[in-house]
Amino acid sequence: QVQLVESGGGVVQPGRSLRVSCAASGFRFNGYGMHWVRQAPGKGLEWVAVIGHDGTYQNYVDTVKGRFTISRDNFKNTLYLEMNSLSAEDTAVYYCARDLGKGKFFDYWGQGVLVTVSS
Amino acid sequence: EIVLTQSPATLSLSPGERATLSCRASQSVSNHLAWYQQKPGQAPRLLIYDASNRATGIAARFSGSGSGTDFTLTISSLEPEDFAIYFCQQGSSRPLTFGGGTNVEIK
């Protein structure tokens, strides 16, 4: 069965960096695009970034462009999100999600990892 | 950016009743719309994609309709496990965006 397991969250000071990971199993990882979606505490969902199946295509929401980098290692079946210059507005649960197809929707989600930006 | 507006914000119903949730887009998204269910402390779950296609394993009581700017998610007869928050999401253009959610609560 499809499994996505995030890790690497925690408390980080404003302006610092953090990398979260998502380990995938139960499907052919290198055949799917992958996304990061975040949810601030008590708020709605915000799409953050997408990466193509082979890593050659990335796209970001404007609020993280230039600060966040999505990447993947298809040998390790792992998705990453490198987050730099973090601010309180980046505090959220970060979910990795598999692309259903054509970059439009998300058919499987991880359980999420909490990133808290605070001094 | 396409803005999705969901209504109502809260829907108070009893088990067995029919739920009708609305999602309106600020511009046409054709049929590139999905619905997700989220329960407290859990990740969202895909229910409907391309406006009317049920995702794998989703019960037949969930149905979606609409195109262009106006969409509806219908739960024909609410089961106890259906009380949750429902989000719509457009896949027509980047950035992908979500509606603010409808909380379906027990009356």
pLDDT in tens, B6-46: 999 999 999 999 999 999 999 999 999 999 999 999 999 99
Please compute, for residue B84, the number of CA atoms within 13 A of its CA located in the half-sphere on the CB side: 20
- CB pairs below 8 Å between A and B: how many? 55
Q: What are the residues whose beta carbons fall under 8 Å from the beta carbon of B45, sequence distance 6 or more? A: A109, B36, B37, B38
Task: Report chain A residues whose CB lies below 8 A from the CB of B101.
Answer: 44
Question: Which of B26, B20, B19, B37 minimizes the C-alpha distance to B101?
Answer: B37
> What digits encode the pLDDT tens for the residues A4-16?
999 999 999 999 9
Q: Residue A101: its pLDDT value, please?
A: 86
Q: How far apart are CA B23 and CA B9, in angstroms?
A: 11
Candidates A104, A108, A114, partner chain B, best to mutate (most B CBs within 10 A)? A104
> What digits encode the pLDDT tens for the residues A72-87?
999 999 999 999 999 9
Tokens 């925690």 found at: A10
Q: Residue A66: its pLDDT value, please?
A: 97
